[in-house]
Amino acid sequence: MVKTRFAPSPSGYLHIGGVRTALYAWLFARNQGGKFLLRIEDTDIERSTEESKISILEGLKWLGLNHDEEIIHQSERFEIYKEKANELIADGKAYKSEGAIRFKSDRSSNVIISDHVFGDVEVNADELDDFIIMRSNGAPTYHFAVVIDDYESGITHVMRGDDHLKNTARHIQLMEAFNYPIPDFVHLPMILGSDGSRLSKRHGAMNVLHYKDEGFSPEALLNYLVRLGWSKGDQEIFSIEEMIDGFDLSGINKSSSKFDLEKLRWVNQQHLLNTNDDELRQMIKDQSEIAKDLSDEVLKNFIDAYKNRSEKTTDLVSSCDQLFSKHISYDEASAEKFLTTDILSPLKDIAASLKACDWNQESISVALKSVCEKHEIGFGKIGQPIRIAVTGGTQSPSIDQTLMLLDQETVIDRIETAILFIKEDTD
């Protein structure tokens, strides 16, 4: 049975690079009908924190990267590592040095690493030193603990960043010293920033829960990351099921990929457009106190109007709160530009015309057109002032569609409020 694992260190948050590693391991296990295990590598007592561990677990849960079997904590296995180190000492394959324990590296021949991504990688034996496997404080090093844990967990495929590729030579020598079987290695190229430099916070290397707070969906984030280093024809948008069905190791690219926040936004928008309206309606209600007081019909009409204009659920929530708030606040710069004295008379006529018309999209369009003809102005002259009056800003669907999202009384009241605003501003 195929077994993969994700082994984060709880000394920080779960970031984009870690998520992609976990995703690939999870997808391969699910594709093969195997198991995906989770191991917390918390041997660094000083740097490991409970807060970081909780954050990592929350991030994986939000993403839906569910693990099989019990979580392994390396901090609970120190006695096992000590016993294994003593076995090596007894066999003459390790020795004590200044309170620590070092492994005797075999320098008689080069080490060949067979990797699914990079092929056969040869590491010169002269590059291998007698490295520490147990520190003087009794804690194991990463190189030692990972070999013991992978074997005892039955890991068949080790997936990790390519910064560990050369380290794998040490791991192979340890495995051979214990007569452990050699797992398949899959080293993933680094994710770079959009400018080609090492991925950092300014590029988007933030806690994955930040993307949750920003309104990205977990499916969209996983969709973006699966294509960030893996190819499957020209397909860009994948469901979780499609990712599982299509994932294979042969599609992993050798070259590094660049994290592009704009592309992520586009992918998220595509998933948003494909999201069931009932689900979207519930998402909005979960995040907006204002939306909770709106009828399903009103919210449905709102989603129909704003869905194509939004990249994230937070965009929808923000637009909903802005449109249906009891008190409209104007964007200061937009109000200064468009709510001017020269538009005062047309706005008065618009308010009067809207009061007299039937409240449907066709009648609203006719009313607005008649005002434009009366004042001999193009619709562009009144479009933005109406938007600002009704929504507070300059971004919305078509004017008639926007007005129809609100009741007639509310629209007229907001236009009259804008008229008073212009008058007060000129007094």
Does 269 fall in a domain?
A: no
Angle at 261 between CA 257 and CA 265, to 5 degrees: 125
Res. 200: pLDDT tops 80: no
Average pLDDT over residues 311-319: 94
- CA 212 to CA 313: how far, in whole Å? 10
**Same-domain status, 198 and 179:** no
Model pLDDT for residues 76-134, shown as the tens digit of each residue: 999 999 999 999 999 999 999 999 999 999 999 999 999 999 999 999 988 899 999 99
The DSSP annotation for 126-175 comes to GG----EEE-TTSPBPHHHHHHHHHHHHT--EEEEEGGGTTTHHHHHHHH
Which among 284, 390, 384, 295 is positioned nearest to 340, based on CA atoms? 384
**Same-domain status, 68 and 90:** no
**Same-domain status, 159 and 116:** yes
- CA 423 to CA 139: how far, in whole Å? 75
Q: How many Cβ atoms from other residues are within 10 Å of residue 32's Cβ?
A: 17
Element (H, E) at 191: strand 191-192
Does 207 fall in a domain?
A: yes
Q: How many structural domains is the chain composed of?
A: 4
pLDDT band at 206 (very low <50, low <70, confident <90, very high): confident
What's the CATH code of the domain at 418? 1.10.10.350
**Same-domain status, 10 and 36:** yes
What's the CATH code of the domain at 17? 3.40.50.620
- CA 147 to CA 171: how far, in whole Å? 6
Model pLDDT for residues 263-287, shown as the tens digit of each residue: 999 999 999 999 999 999 999 999 9
What pTM was estimated for this model as a whole? 0.89
Res. 233: pLDDT tops 90: no
**Same-domain status, 312 and 249:** no
- Dihedral of CA atoms 216, 220, 223, 225 in degrees, nearest 10, equals -10
The DSSP annotation for 212-245 comes to HHTT--HHHHHHHHHTSSB-BTB-----HHHHHH
**Same-domain status, 350 and 410:** yes
Does 270 fall in a domain?
A: no
**Token pair for residue 170?**
């040490």
**Same-domain status, 212 and 361:** no
pLDDT band at 197 (very low <50, low <70, confident <90, very high): confident
**Same-domain status, 220 and 235:** yes
**Same-domain status, 64 and 107:** no
Average pLDDT over residues 317-336: 91
Model pLDDT for residues 132-178, shown as the tens digit of each residue: 999 999 999 999 999 999 999 999 999 999 999 989 999 999 999 99
Domain boundary among 239, 264, 289: 264
**Same-domain status, 60 and 141:** no
**Same-domain status, 252 and 351:** no
pLDDT band at 424 (very low <50, low <70, confident <90, very high): confident
pLDDT at 205: 62
**Token pair for residue 302?**
């709102």
Mean pLDDT of the chain: 93
Q: How many Cβ atoms from other residues are within 10 Å of residue 168's Cβ?
A: 24
Among all chains, which residue has been given the structure tokens 């120190």? 78
- CA 335 to CA 389: how far, in whole Å? 9
pLDDT at 249: 96
Does 250 fall in a domain?
A: yes
Structural domain span for residue 307: 275-324
pLDDT band at 28 (very low <50, low <70, confident <90, very high): very high
Res. 202: pLDDT tops 80: no
Q: How many Cβ atoms from other residues are within 10 Å of residue 185's Cβ?
A: 21
Which among 147, 130, 126 is positioned nearest to 95, based on CA atoms? 130
pLDDT at 327: 86
Which among 114, 128, 139, 119 is positioned nearest to 173, based on CA atoms? 128
Does 375 fall in a domain?
A: yes
- CA 81 to CA 77: how far, in whole Å? 7
Average pLDDT over residues 170-194: 95
pLDDT at 426: 62
Which among 277, 262, 269 is positioned nearest to 237, based on CA atoms? 269
| Neighbour order of strands in the sheet with 157-161 | 119-123, 111-115, 184-188, 157-161
Residues with Cβ within 8 Å of 291's Cβ and at least 6 positions away in sequence, in order, are 284, 285, 299, 317, 320, 321, 324
Which among 5, 24, 4, 15 is positioned nearest to 226, based on CA atoms? 24
Give residue 376's region: left, alpha or beta (phi > 0; psi -120 to 50).
Answer: left
**Same-domain status, 101 and 236:** no
